[in-house]
Structure 1
Amino acid sequence: MPKASTLTKKGKPLSSYTGTEDQHSVYLMHQLRLMSARYPLLAYVYHVPNEMNVGDWAAEKEEIGRLEQALGSRKAAYSASSMRRRRVARLRKQVAKGVKRGVPDYHLSASRGGYVSLYVELKVDRNTLSEEQLAYAAFAVSENNLVAVAWDWSRAAEVFEWYAGLPKEGPISLPAIPKVRWLNAIPPEKWKSPPPP
Structure 2
Amino acid sequence: MANRTEDQIQQAVIRWSQQASVREMFPQLALLYHIPNERKCTPQQGARLKRMGVKSGVPDLHLPVARGVYHGLYLEMKTEKGRVSANQAWWLERLRENGCCCVVCRSWEDAAHTLVTYLTEGRADDRERN
- TM-score normalised over the length of structure 2: 0.88
Match of 1:37 among 24, 28, 33: 24
Rounded Cα–Cα distance in structure 2 between residues aligned with 1:42 and 1:149 = 18
| 1:1-197 matches, cutoff 5 A | 16-34=1-19, 35-51=22-38, 53-55=39-41, 87-166=42-121, 174-175=124-125, 181-183=127-129, 191=130
Contiguous gaps of at least 5 residues in structure 1: 1-15, 56-86, 184-190, 192-197
8 Å contact from structure 1 (residues 147, 182) kept in 2: no
Structure of higher CA gyration radius: 1
Whether the 8 Å contact between 1:116 and 1:146 is mirrored in structure 2 is yes
Structure-1 separation of matches of 2:26 and 2:90: 31
Cα distance in 1 for residues equivalent to 2:34 and 2:2: 21
Q: Which has the higher contact order (CA 8 A, sep 6+)?
A: 2
Structure-1-length-normalised TM-score:
0.60
- RMSD (CA atoms): 1.7
Which segments of structure 1 move beyond 3 Å, counting only runs of 4 or more? none
Kindly state the Cα deviation for residue 90 of structure 1 after the two structures are TM-superposed.
2.0
Instruction: Count how many residue pairs are aligned between Structure 1 and Structure 2.
Output: 128
